[in-house]
């Protein structure tokens, strides 16, 4: 009987583990963020790199780094590259959600001068291309704490694929100035469907019963 109870406790523990939420982290960095600047033929373009920040910028955000396609952040850096006005580069992060229901999602975004945001092909935010840009955009999304873009579950979840691949694109624009970059951070939480719990639980209990009979 003790052995049977121990096995039931083990099954319950496995079932509780199966019910755990999955949290997917989003953050800008050289390792997670790609860009298409090479395809656009921008001078000195390269793969995404982490950059030193302009002293006027807010951030970096939680777990993230300001990124660009070259050393475009701090004008005092010896290798600083001045991005020509009118330049725009699309940065992207692709990630996979493992199924279930999206129960929460958040995304915070900073940019100099500004950026648009597209989730799986649907634009959820249009870049401020009117200005003015004394440091970066004077409205969301910009590079200051007062112009940080904050997006929540209602704005993100309808366009996310809860079971499969997702891509969020950020097209960052240089409209007036020298520094240029992008910074974002967010999380997506998915909860397994109740039906999945039942199937997993039934299978584990069946295994337990077979063990008892043996």
The pTM for the full model equals 0.83
Domains of the chain by residue range: 1-21+198-214, 23-189
- Pick the range with the lowest mean pLDDT from 8-22, 42-56, 142-156, 164-178: 8-22
Q: What is the mean pLDDT of the chain?
A: 86
Q: Residues near 186 by Cβ (< 8 Å), separated by ≥ 6?
A: 25, 26, 27, 105, 106, 107, 108, 151
Pair 165, 121: CB distance under 8 Å: no
Q: Could you say which architecture CATH assigns to the domain 23-189?
A: Sandwich (2.60)
N- to C-terminal Cα separation, the chain: 13
What is the CA 142 to chain-centroid distance, rounded? 17
C-alpha closest to that of 117 among 68, 52, 182, 47: 182
Mean pLDDT of 48-71: 97
What is the CA 35 to chain-centroid distance, rounded? 14
Supply 94's token pair. 């692709």
- Residue 83 and residue 96: Cα distance in Å, rounded? 33
- Residue 8 and residue 15: Cα distance in Å, rounded? 10
pLDDT tens digit string along 96-151? 999 899 999 999 999 999 999 999 999 999 999 999 999 999 999 999 999 999 99
């Amino acid at each position: 009987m003790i052995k049977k109870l121990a096995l039931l406790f083990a099954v319950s523990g496995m079932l509780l583990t199966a019910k755990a939420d999955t949290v997917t982290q989003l953050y800008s960095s050289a390792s997670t963020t790609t860009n298409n600047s090479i395809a656009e033929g921008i001078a000195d373009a390269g793969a995404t790199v982490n950059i030193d920040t302009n002293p006027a910028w807010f951030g970096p955000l939680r777990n993230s780094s300001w990124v660009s396609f070259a050393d475009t952040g701090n004008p005092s850096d010896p290798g600083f590259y001045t991005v020509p006005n009118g330049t725009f580069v699309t940065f992207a992060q692709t990630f996979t959600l493992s199924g279930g229901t999206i129960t929460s999602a958040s995304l915070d975004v900073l940019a100099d001068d500004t950026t648009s945001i597209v989730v799986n092909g649907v634009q959820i935010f249009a870049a401020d291309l009117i200005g003015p840009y004394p440091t970066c955009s004077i409205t969301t999304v910009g590079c200051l704490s007062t112009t940080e873009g904050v997006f929540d579950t209602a704005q993100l979840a309808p366009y996310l694929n809860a079971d499969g691949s997702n891509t969020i694109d950020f097209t960052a624009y240089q409209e007036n100035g020298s520094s240029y970059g992008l910074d974002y951070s967010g999380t997506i939480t998915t909860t397994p469907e109740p039906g999945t719990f039942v199937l997993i639980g039934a299978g584990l209990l069946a295994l337990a019963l077979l063990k008892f009979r043996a």
